[in-house]
């Protein structure tokens, strides 16, 4: 086993972001038991899955993903529906994995890509290139090198002294650079980074950072390309730390603004539900302005309320209305 060390330059930006993220994690963890109800966890998990798959061109909405996981019939491509089921199974299995286990890594890929590709749960056997449109942005290393490269990376992960926030970002980049699988590398990299973070602080298992990545998808790929050009993970680490901080700020803001509880646990009316009950035609942006919250924070609450059965959308996004249940 080689003593591989991924190339990285620690920067003041990284250290400042780690400090800010740690502060936000402390705030979120302090509210974990009281605020992060099963319905809110489920809502966050659904948003995570929908966003991670959307990055890979899955077109299902949050509402459709929720319906699939509720066992309802959804009008959508069979492959996209299978991707949702697979992703949910993988994230649910995550607590049982060891972050430095190759067998667990392969098992995770097997769940994510079940019935989607022939090589689910196996390292790729052929060459693969990464394209943005028609442009080749990265040609992965030969398949014969993949098993050793993954072993080296996992060995590094098990012994690194880097802060887990930084180590998780480095792993994510190095994993994408190796591109060990025929398909599913992006969603696997994001899943495994979540595993690393959740073993540092359990509350991060439910942080939907993928929604920030989806909204900044061009910047995500630009950071990967910049890291390739510099031959070190530094630009990508800085990008991912910024995405983590943004996701945490939104989570703290959302939970501070309104504690979303299920109908089974509480009949308390939240400010957002009260607003939509009297103004059912409001958009998320308009509701955010009325409540003094960010639009993303309100969208997160809407997703959690829908997942918890407290709210339904009647009609299209434009011209429809909300129904409080």
CATH number of the domain that residue 297 is part of = 1.10.10.10
Say whether both 249 and 276 belong to one domain.
no
The question of whether 109 is a catalytic residue gets the answer: no
Q: Which residues of 130-142 are buried (b: 16+ CB within 10 A; e: fewer)?
A: beeeeeeebebee
| In-domain check, residue 6 | no
Last residue of a domain, one of 233, 257, 281: 257
pLDDT confidence of residue 266: 45
Say whether both 224 and 275 belong to one domain.
no
Q: Which residue has the tokens 């308390």?
A: 268
Say whether both 238 and 299 belong to one domain.
no
Say whether both 159 and 282 belong to one domain.
no
Say whether both 241 and 140 belong to one domain.
yes
Whether the predicted model's global pTM rises above the 0.85 cut: no
d(C-alpha 100, C-alpha 103), whole Å: 9
Low-confidence ranges of the chain (pLDDT < 70): 1-2, 31-37, 254-269
| In-domain check, residue 266 | no
| In-domain check, residue 70 | yes
Say whether both 233 and 288 belong to one domain.
no
Q: DSSP letter at 233?
A: S
State residue 138 phi and psi, 5-degree precision.
-160, 130
Q: Is 133 annotated as a binding residue?
A: no
Q: Is 184 annotated as a binding residue?
A: yes
Say whether both 186 and 294 belong to one domain.
no
d(C-alpha 145, C-alpha 139), whole Å: 14
| In-domain check, residue 263 | no
Say whether both 179 and 134 belong to one domain.
yes
Q: Which tokens hold the place of 222?
A: 């630009």
Q: Is 186 annotated as a binding residue?
A: yes
Say whether both 140 and 165 belong to one domain.
yes
Q: Is 173 annotated as a binding residue?
A: no
Q: Is 185 annotated as a binding residue?
A: yes
Say whether both 248 and 122 belong to one domain.
yes
30 contacts: CB under 8 Å, gap ≥ 6: none
Residue 52 CB neighbour total at 10 angstroms: 27
The total number of structural domains in the chain stands at: 2
Q: Is 189 annotated as a binding residue?
A: yes
3-state percent helix, strand, coil for the chain, nearest multiple of 5? 65, 5, 30
> Which H/E stretch holds residue 263?
none
| In-domain check, residue 204 | yes
Q: Which tokens hold the place of 235?
A: 């630009």
| In-domain check, residue 44 | yes
Say whether both 244 and 296 belong to one domain.
no
Say whether both 105 and 240 belong to one domain.
yes
pLDDT confidence of residue 32: 56
CATH code: domain of residue 141: 1.10.3290.10
Residue range(s) defining the domain that contains residue 280: 271-324
| In-domain check, residue 62 | yes
Q: Which of 114, 138, 163, 179 is catalytic?
A: 179
> Which H/E stretch holds residue 314?
strand 311-314
Last residue of a domain, one of 257, 287, 306: 257
Percent of the chain with pLDDT strictly greater than 70: 91
Last residue of a domain, one of 257, 284, 300: 257
Q: Which residue has the tokens 């049982």?
A: 96
């Amino acid at each position: 086993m080689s003593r591989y060390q991924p190339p990285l330059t620690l920067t003041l930006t990284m250290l400042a972001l780690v400090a800010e993220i740690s502060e936000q994690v402390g705030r979120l963890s302090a509210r974990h038991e009281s605020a992060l109800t099963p319905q809110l966890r489920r809502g966050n998990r659904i948003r995570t899955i929908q966003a991670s798959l959307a990055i890979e061109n899955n077109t299902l909405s949050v509402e459709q993903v929720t319906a699939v996981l509720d066992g309802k019939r959804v009008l959508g491509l069979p492959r996209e529906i299978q991707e949702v089921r697979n992703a949910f199974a993988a994230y649910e299995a995550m607590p049982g994995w060891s972050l430095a286990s190759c067998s667990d890594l392969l098992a995770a890929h097997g769940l994510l890509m079940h019935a989607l590709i022939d090589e689910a749960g196996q390292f790729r056997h052929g060459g693969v290139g990464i394209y943005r449109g028609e442009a080749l942005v990265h040609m992965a290393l030969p398949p014969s090198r993949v098993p050793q490269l993954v072993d080296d990376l996992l060995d590094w992960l098990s012994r690194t002294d880097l802060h887990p926030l930084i180590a998780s970002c480095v792993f994510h980049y190095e994993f994408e650079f190796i591109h060990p699988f025929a398909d599913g590398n992006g969603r696997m990299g994001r899943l495994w980074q979540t595993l690393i973070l959740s073993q540092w602080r359990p509350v991060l298992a439910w942080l939907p950072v993928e929604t920030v990545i989806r909204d900044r998808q061009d910047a995500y790929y630009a950071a990967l390309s910049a890291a390739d050009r510099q031959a070190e993970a530094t630009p990508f680490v800085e990008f991912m730390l910024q995405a983590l901080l943004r996701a945490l700020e939104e989570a703290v803001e959302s939970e501070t603004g309104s504690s979303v509880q299920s109908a089974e646990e509480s009949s308390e009316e939240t400010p957002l539900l009260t607003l939509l009950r009297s103004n059912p035609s409001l958009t998320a942006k308009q509701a955010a302005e009325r409540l003094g919250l960010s639009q993303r924070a309100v969208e997160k609450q809407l997703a959690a309320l829908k997942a918890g059965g407290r709210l339904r959308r009647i009609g299209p996004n434009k011209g429809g209305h909300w129904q409080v249940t």
